[in-house]
Structure 1
Amino acid sequence: MPLHNREIADTFIKLANLLEIEGANPFRVRAYRNAARVISSLAPRVSDLVAQDKDLSELPGIGDDLADKIRTLIKTGELPLLKQVEARTPPILHELMKIEGLGPKRVKILYQKLGIRHVKDLQTAIKQGRLKKLSGFGEKTEQKILSGIQHLNQYTKRMKLADAAPVVDSLLRYMRNIDGVEQVECAGSYRRKKETVGDLDILAAAKDSEKIINAFIKFDEIAAVITQGTTRASAHLHSGFQVDLRVVSEKSYGAALLYFTGSKEHNIAIRKIAVQKKLKLNEYGIYRGERQIGGRTEEELYKQLGLAYIEPELREDRGEIIASRKHRLPKLISLKDIRGDLHCHTHATDGSASLEQMAKAAEQLGYEYLAITDHSQHLTVAHGLDKKALIAQIKKIDRLNAKLQNLVVLKSMEVDILEDGSLDMPRDILNELDLTVCSIHSKFSLPQKKQTERILKAMDNVCFNILAHPTGRLINHREPYSIDMERILHGAKERGCILELNAQPDRLDLNDIHCKMAKDIGAPIVISTDAHSPSQFSYMCYGINQARRGWLEKENVINTRPLKDLKKLLNRK
């Protein structure tokens, strides 16, 4: 059974967490965390690389020892070192570290001092007031932990879209090779490209449904079959997903695809339209009386309802039906519209590739421009650039641009927005850049008004161009900080600033609602990958998904424009 990259990365994260709790060598712990980060960012499956006998030590930060461990994990499904560590360090400690506000030191104290063996034990200890009696634990910490538990329970039942993608690809590839499958698709929230997905809804068209079901349950990634009938089956995968398969006839495939894609709200709305037209719409087709008048394709169903075809990403009952009826649906942005990436990092700070390697990868994608946005010095999670180092990088970019033929590397920096709204670099050096990407990496818990004013004050600086990952959220891990998004969007429009849709699968920030709000207000958007390696340029597709859910068109996104027009837009001085 092939392991997916996420499963391999999760194994090394668990190992790193348990070793850190034990007090292991920090460099060793960091190596395992780095391995997880590298693996999770790779486009190709590491399992495929091993099957092709590729040298894993050529991957950034992966030495011979780590490469051997990865190969062992893929070939056996187990990591011997992790089993040894688990034997002496309870796995629950790893689970506790998923709670925001708990690091290895605190988890170890909770385990040793309070005998915490389960998340419920932790909730009980807080309720009984035992936690705040420990040194380093106060009421604020208690509240943060309780909030973290609530967040964990609420969101970790759903997985990130990017984690689902390779699983779905593998499953669909298997299904398409089954003799007799005429059409097959993954429906549900995955097809609507929501940022997280729950169960995977697979829909297939075939004449012999039972034959397809019998072949499906032999898929080597299935851990357990839940139910099996003649037209449907459900199973748990080793990756943690539940898959529900439905097999229908080809004449009903479009109707079933529409029904199982959803959303529920969209389906209810279009069924009401069918009733108004004295028609019946269900998962088998659309009917006038007993006669089926459509169902093979979604297009013919919408046509019978007097609607233009509605893209899956828009099916949330947020105005798409009215827009469809009036032929005013947006012409949604697509990946081919993107001309460049305005947020990426090199190994000068916390990336894993050189300036030249990032430029070469962007050039191979056919990009016209690429902004190198290594961090400013204030940022504590990376050894950021000071003024001297930034000047040296500017000169290096100039030399590189003299050699490049099809790509222009733009001089930029990801500059911290400090608590008082000032930028973490002097204006004289910022004036030498083509653009700035400005972001918040600290003081997330400021009150909404103060956090909003912090950003608006930063935007007053004429050197400010792009607000990166505007709400600071990390999907399934950290809630967004509190800001008045409407004020921010109006402020950006008035000042000539741009808001980023960060395409990192952990972020997808702005969310779809805020993208639509930005479009309605007229605030421009940039879709950037925040890539830390060449392979992460592939994240652009997730940004495009989010943009489409937010009704964004080509003209709403600045990095669809030629370089000449882009530079005019970025010039605030």
Structure 2
Amino acid sequence: MKNREIAELLYETADIMEFQQIEWKPRAYRRAAQNIENLGEDIEKVYERKEKKGLTEIPGIGEAIADHIAEYLETGKVKKFEDLKGKAPSGTTELMEIRGLGAKKTKRLADELKIKTVSDLKAAVNAHRIRRLEGFGERSEENIARALRNYEKSHSRMALGKALPLAEEIIFVLKTSLKTSLKTELGSKTPKIDLSKLIYTGSLRRLKETIGDIDILAEAEGEQVGKVMDAFVSLPAVGQVVSKGNTRSSVILKEGPEVDLRVVPPESYGAALQYFTGSKEHNIELRNIAQREGYKLSEYGLYEKASGKHVAGKSEEEVYRKLGLEYIVPELRENRGEIKAAIKKTLPKLIDAGDLRGDFHLHTDYSEGRASLETMVKKAETIGYEYIAVTDHSRSQRIAHGMEIDTLKAQWDEIEKLSKRFRMKILRGSEVEILKDGSLDYPDEVLKKLDIVVGAVHSGFSSTEREMTGRIVTALENRHLDILAHPSGKLLGKREAYAADFGTVFETAAANGKVMEINSQPSRLDLNDELILRAKEYGLKFCISTDSHSVSDLASMRYGLGQARRGWLEKEDVVNTYPYSRLKEVFKKLRD
């Protein structure tokens, strides 16, 4: 699908327009990009079916933008956008991706310090030239330096939310290509390629927050290996073929990341899958066990050291079983005690997608969401949820169109009406700002009427550890707060976690019966696995929520689920696996 490609093109164009001080158009282009991202169907098919008229039926896309999209779909570029890029300094859009550098600051840096690239910016920071500019100063320079480090870190690794759909798309297209070619070539014969065993490996399979390259494994033998390699390097998404061999090929996609494909025979597939999934530390410990048991373990299989006989390798389960271990799921393979547990047969039964009954963090167009309350409810019910909480922003979050009390009460009226039409429980909630002194953004008489209060920090990220810890602890001691949302405040690649004593935070939360959120937004994944493991030691309960701002965001639940599994969580640890009757015991304000 070209949806992501076109959305990114519109976002980039909006940035350039903003830099060139074209006032109202950037907002329109960003709105169009958001709607294309959330379209839910292939924009190419929309265009094929209805041509330009179909494009204008997409919310936020008028005649002019529809013309540009049609031109891109027809020719692969948009002349107007190319002209705009030509007039903007090279590197402008890249600079504006750095947190805190909007169009105005980027333009000042370009005009006054001749900073046109990320390298220029890094040199200026190191030479302390930015602090000399009027209106910037030492603090601004330090903030830019921190944002620059985060930018460089994020661009050396890819966020899970981008890598996983990309890997799935590559594998889907590769499977489709192979199915077509094999059917043409072999007719009714059985091919020697098991397409069900085309799978991504590495840190992506372990569902880490960020990954480096995308690694894919396939099973094939004989002349079919070449067929797989030919199809792989010929994928439409490939921008450059780095290498092509009999067992491994590497390409760089047009979108940027490198993708490696390895092809192994059936007898080695399981061993290779285990080896290339990692982690390195997990694999070292497994090899140590193999040596103690008189075996040699590699990506080719498990062999008897004395005779060289191949004794396991067709499947991962076979390898673990032969070594005397329970099968260890990929998310646990970090050498954090999982091997000892597998030896003792005491591995946790991790939470699964089918265990989840609801979502406690949803935004609608009452605040900064992009869909109506009814639309969000309809989609949640089609997922099969038993309950959801509607949690639009509270009043102090003006940038997010936070709701005044009158608007909040109007939303309650709509929730009451919708509750009569849908079988699902629709809970009255709010993402309530935790103010600087730790108090909550609505008065007690409003908070006590909410079914669920999700408390969150959205400001003051540069506070000291003592200040931030005190702020959060005060909020956790408020009897009306139920859930602490995105508890560390980080944004992947853009903002580090704020300084806070999480031991004190978790201890206070446990003492007051509060729930820790695992925020599934791909840009957050907060709590991450390490903090989940720490929080679990305090006996805390968790919820996995999407923080959805659109219908399509509801599908991001899988990213938070991945972090929960990496954090060793079981069904009982996560309150939105409970039936509604039991949930009322957790959030005592809930009423039928």
Length-normalised TM-score, structure 1: 0.96
CA distance in structure 2 between the partners assigned to 1:86 and 1:481 by the alignment = 36
405, 417, 428: which one aligns with 1:387: 405
How far residue 109 of structure 1 moved from its aligned partner, in angstroms, is 0.6
Q: In structure 2, what is the equivalent of residue 204 of structure 1?
A: 218
Q: In structure 2, what is the equivalent of residue 274 of structure 1?
A: 290
More displaced 10-residue stretch of structure 1: 101-110 or 285-294: 101-110
Q: In structure 2, what is the equivalent of residue 23 of structure 1?
A: 21
How far residue 81 of structure 1 moved from its aligned partner, in angstroms, is 3.0
CA distance in structure 2 between the partners assigned to 1:44 and 1:330 by the alignment = 38
- 8 Å CA contact 1:110–1:116 kept in 2: the answer is yes
User: Letter of the aligned partner of 2:267 in structure 1?
Assistant: K
User: Letter of the aligned partner of 2:515 in structure 1?
Assistant: I
CA distance in structure 2 between the partners assigned to 1:256 and 1:510 by the alignment = 31
- 8 Å CA contact 1:306–1:325 kept in 2: the answer is yes
Equivalent residue of 1:243, what SS?
Answer: strand
How far residue 472 of structure 1 moved from its aligned partner, in angstroms, is 1.3
Deviations 1:232-289 (A, max 9, x none): 1111111212111111110000011111111111111100110111100000000013
User: Letter of the aligned partner of 1:516 in structure 2?
Assistant: L
Equivalent runs, 1:7-18 vs 2, <5 Å: 7-18=5-16
CA distance in structure 1 between the partners assigned to 2:117 and 2:369 by the alignment = 36
Q: In structure 1, what is the equivalent of residue 186 of structure 2?
A: none
How far residue 138 of structure 1 moved from its aligned partner, in angstroms, is 0.4
Structure 2 vs 1, CA of residues 257 and 162 (structure 1 numbering), >3 Å: closer, same or farther?
Answer: same
- 8 Å CA contact 1:357–1:534 kept in 2: the answer is yes
CA distance in structure 1 between the partners assigned to 2:8 and 2:242 by the alignment = 25
CA distance in structure 1 between the partners assigned to 2:90 and 2:269 by the alignment = 45
Q: In structure 1, what is the equivalent of residue 109 of structure 2?
A: 110
How far residue 149 of structure 1 moved from its aligned partner, in angstroms, is 1.5
Q: Is 2:482 the partner of 1:485?
A: no
Equivalent residue of 1:412, what SS?
Answer: strand
Equivalent residue of 1:83, what SS?
Answer: helix
- 8 Å CA contact 1:20–1:29 kept in 2: the answer is yes
Structure 2 vs 1, CA of residues 81 and 439 (structure 1 numbering), >3 Å: closer, same or farther?
Answer: farther
Equivalent runs, 1:495-506 vs 2, <5 Å: 495-506=512-523
Q: In structure 2, what is the equivalent of residue 453 of structure 1?
A: 470
Equivalent residue of 2:115, what SS?
Answer: coil
CA distance in structure 1 between the partners assigned to 2:134 and 2:587 by the alignment = 50
- 8 Å CA contact 2:451–2:589 kept in 1: the answer is no
Deviations 1:292-337 (A, max 9, x none): 0000000010011110000011111111111111111111111111
| Number of corresponding residues | 569
More displaced 10-residue stretch of structure 1: 528-537 or 97-106: 97-106
Q: In structure 1, what is the equivalent of residue 140 of structure 2?
A: 141
Structure 2 vs 1, CA of residues 57 and 545 (structure 1 numbering), >3 Å: closer, same or farther?
Answer: farther
Equivalent residue of 2:111, what SS?
Answer: helix
Superposed CA RMSD? 1.8
CA distance in structure 2 between the partners assigned to 1:441 and 1:57 by the alignment = 36
More displaced 10-residue stretch of structure 1: 173-182 or 563-572: 173-182
Q: Is 2:248 the partner of 1:232?
A: yes
CA distance in structure 2 between the partners assigned to 1:68 and 1:427 by the alignment = 52
More displaced 10-residue stretch of structure 1: 5-14 or 277-286: 5-14
How far residue 128 of structure 1 moved from its aligned partner, in angstroms, is 3.1
More displaced 10-residue stretch of structure 1: 518-527 or 305-314: 518-527
Structure 2 vs 1, CA of residues 315 and 363 (structure 1 numbering), >3 Å: closer, same or farther?
Answer: same
CA distance in structure 2 between the partners assigned to 1:45 and 1:557 by the alignment = 35
Equivalent residue of 1:30, what SS?
Answer: helix
Q: In structure 2, what is the equivalent of residue 255 of structure 1?
A: 271
Q: In structure 1, what is the equivalent of residue 309 of structure 2?
A: 291
How far residue 47 of structure 1 moved from its aligned partner, in angstroms, is 4.1
Deviations 1:441-496 (A, max 9, x none): 11111011110110110111111111111111111222111111222111111111
User: Letter of the aligned partner of 2:365 in structure 1?
Assistant: H
Equivalent runs, 1:279-358 vs 2, <5 Å: 279-288=295-304, 289-358=307-376
Q: In structure 1, what is the equivalent of residue 236 of structure 2?
A: 220
Deviations 1:74-124 (A, max 9, x none): 443323332121111124111111222312111101101111122222232
Unaligned segments of structure 2, at least 5 residues: 183-191
How far residue 15 of structure 1 moved from its aligned partner, in angstroms, is 1.1
CA distance in structure 1 between the partners assigned to 2:126 and 2:272 by the alignment = 48
Q: Is 2:416 the partner of 1:418?
A: no
CA distance in structure 1 between the partners assigned to 2:159 and 2:228 by the alignment = 28
More displaced 10-residue stretch of structure 1: 167-176 or 470-479: 167-176
Q: In structure 1, what is the equivalent of residue 170 of structure 2?
A: 171
Structure 2 vs 1, CA of residues 535 and 41 (structure 1 numbering), >3 Å: closer, same or farther?
Answer: same
CA distance in structure 2 between the partners assigned to 1:231 and 1:157 by the alignment = 26
Equivalent residue of 1:213, what SS?
Answer: helix
Q: In structure 2, what is the equivalent of residue 128 of structure 1?
A: 127
- 8 Å CA contact 1:21–1:104 kept in 2: the answer is yes
- 8 Å CA contact 1:175–1:181 kept in 2: the answer is no
Structure 2 vs 1, CA of residues 230 and 43 (structure 1 numbering), >3 Å: closer, same or farther?
Answer: same
- 8 Å CA contact 1:43–1:538 kept in 2: the answer is no
- 8 Å CA contact 1:203–1:245 kept in 2: the answer is yes
CA distance in structure 2 between the partners assigned to 1:369 and 1:507 by the alignment = 23
Equivalent residue of 2:101, what SS?
Answer: coil
Q: In structure 2, what is the equivalent of residue 37 of structure 1?
A: 34
Q: In structure 2, what is the equivalent of residue 555 of structure 1?
A: 572
Q: In structure 2, what is the equivalent of residue 96 of structure 1?
A: 95
How far residue 216 of structure 1 moved from its aligned partner, in angstroms, is 1.8
User: Letter of the aligned partner of 2:22 in structure 1?
Assistant: A
Q: In structure 2, what is the equivalent of residue 181 of structure 1?
A: 193
Equivalent residue of 1:537, what SS?
Answer: helix
Equivalent residue of 1:181, what SS?
Answer: coil
CA distance in structure 1 between the partners assigned to 2:144 and 2:353 by the alignment = 40
Equivalent residue of 1:455, what SS?
Answer: helix
Structure 2 vs 1, CA of residues 515 and 40 (structure 1 numbering), >3 Å: closer, same or farther?
Answer: farther
219, 237, 245: which one aligns with 2:261: 245
Structure 2 vs 1, CA of residues 423 and 316 (structure 1 numbering), >3 Å: closer, same or farther?
Answer: same
Structure 2 vs 1, CA of residues 44 and 198 (structure 1 numbering), >3 Å: closer, same or farther?
Answer: farther
Equivalent runs, 1:532-547 vs 2, <5 Å: 532-547=549-564
Structure 2 vs 1, CA of residues 226 and 143 (structure 1 numbering), >3 Å: closer, same or farther?
Answer: same
Deviations 1:188-243 (A, max 9, x none): 11111112221111111111322321232111211111011122111111121211
User: Letter of the aligned partner of 2:268 in structure 1?
Assistant: S
User: Letter of the aligned partner of 2:9 in structure 1?
Assistant: T
Unaligned segments of structure 1, at least 5 residues: none
CA distance in structure 1 between the partners assigned to 2:35 and 2:43 by the alignment = 10
Deviations 1:138-169 (A, max 9, x none): 00111111112222222212112221233222
Equivalent residue of 1:342, what SS?
Answer: strand
- 8 Å CA contact 1:157–1:198 kept in 2: the answer is yes
- 8 Å CA contact 2:328–2:338 kept in 1: the answer is yes
User: Letter of the aligned partner of 2:265 in structure 1?
Assistant: S
Q: Is 2:539 the partner of 1:522?
A: yes
